[in-house]
């Protein structure tokens, strides 16, 4: 099976712009979660989607949003970019949601740089 | 916010030696997981230990969990240069409402010298 894919892998934007990141989960996986990784804050949970519904959201401002499509692919959007949004954004997929022992498989990440 | 701290922040050992990393967390957990990350890339799941387990093995990995101390350790035996990476512990809370959310520690950067 192909792993989790994320596009694009690298992105450079300027302050005030918006960006959309894409994640394709492993075939058959229905849950997608997003994480932000920065040197200062480490790895932080953004949100989780299952069956096109947001199930859980981390402590991030409303500028961060996401959605999931019927084929389980997910996108996250960040509007009005700030310098502090520069980070590695990681997507993870798993078979189902709400099962805490279900392994999450991470993609390679999208490196976002905001200038 | 991060669940807890990992200790040490950085560890440098010779190939063949054992590496031990520690993780402390703050709240009750359903399980604790260890992940590896190579140089700013994706995370790879290594092992999961449930809150009612005390020790678990997988190949060269040994994980212990002490829920009374809210701590866990990861031991990598007979380390190889390919083990060079950052290692993170992550916890899952006990309630199903947020069962998917992983809360990560700050990570340990392991360098294995050939």
Residue A93, helix vs strand vs coil: strand
How far does the CA of residue A45 sit from the closest CA of chain B (Å)?
A: 7
Backbone phi and psi for residue B70, each to the nearest 5 degrees, phi listed first: 50, 55
> C-alpha angle with apex A90: A84 to A96, nearest 5 degrees?
135
Residue B82, helix vs strand vs coil: helix
* Pick from A114, A115, A106: nearest CA to A6: A106
Backbone phi and psi for residue A84, each to the nearest 5 degrees, phi listed first: -70, -5
Mark which residues 8-67 of A lie under 8 Å from B by CB.
Answer: 31, 33, 35, 41-45, 48, 55-56, 58-59
How far does the CA of residue A23 sit from the closest CA of chain B (Å)?
A: 13
Residues A10-45 have pLDDT tens digits of 999 999 999 999 999 999 999 999 999 999 899 999
Q: Which pLDDT value is given to residue A98?
A: 60
> C-alpha angle with apex A106: A102 to A112, nearest 5 degrees?
145
Assess whether pLDDT exceeds 90 at residue A79: yes
Q: Which pLDDT value is given to residue B97?
A: 55
Q: Which pLDDT value is given to residue A47?
A: 92
Q: Is B69 an 8 Å CB contact of chain A?
A: no
Q: Is B52 an 8 Å CB contact of chain A?
A: no
Which residue of B43, B100, B109 to mutate against A (max A Cβ within 10 Å)? Answer: B100
Q: Cβ distance B38 to B60 under 8 Å?
A: no
Q: Which pLDDT value is given to residue A103?
A: 82
* Pick from B62, B48, B54: nearest CA to B18: B62
Q: Tell me what the mean pLDDT of segment B57-75 comes to.
A: 97
Residues B90-107 have pLDDT tens digits of 998 876 554 567 889 999
């Amino acid at each position: 099976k192909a792993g989790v894919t994320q596009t694009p892998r690298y992105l450079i934007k300027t302050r005030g712009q918006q960006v959309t990141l894409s994640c394709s989960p492993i075939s058959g996986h229905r849950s997608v979660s997003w994480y932000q990784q920065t040197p200062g804050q480490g790895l932080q949970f953004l949100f989780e989607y299952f069956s096109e519904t947001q199930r859980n959201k981390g402590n991030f401002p409303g500028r961060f949003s996401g959605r999931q499509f019927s084929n389980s692919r997910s996108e996250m959007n960040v509007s009005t970019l700030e310098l502090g949004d520069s980070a590695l954004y990681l997507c993870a997929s798993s078979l189902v949601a709400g099962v805490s022992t279900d392994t999450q498989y991470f993609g390679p990440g999208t490196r976002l740089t905001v200038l | 916010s991060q669940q807890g701290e990992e200790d040490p922040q950085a560890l440098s050992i010779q190939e063949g030696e054992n590496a031990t990393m520690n993780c402390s967390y703050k709240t009750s957990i359903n399980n604790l997981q260890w992940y590896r990350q190579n140089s700013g890339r994706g995370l790879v799941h290594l092992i999961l230990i449930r809150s009612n387990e005390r020790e678990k093995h997988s190949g060269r990995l040994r994980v212990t969990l002490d829920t009374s101390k809210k701590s866990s350790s990861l031991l990598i035996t007979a380390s190889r240069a390919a083990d060079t990476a950052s290692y993170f512990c992550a916890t899952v809370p006990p309630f199903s409402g947020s069962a998917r959310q992983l809360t990560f520690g700050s990570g340990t950067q392991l360098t294995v010298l050939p």
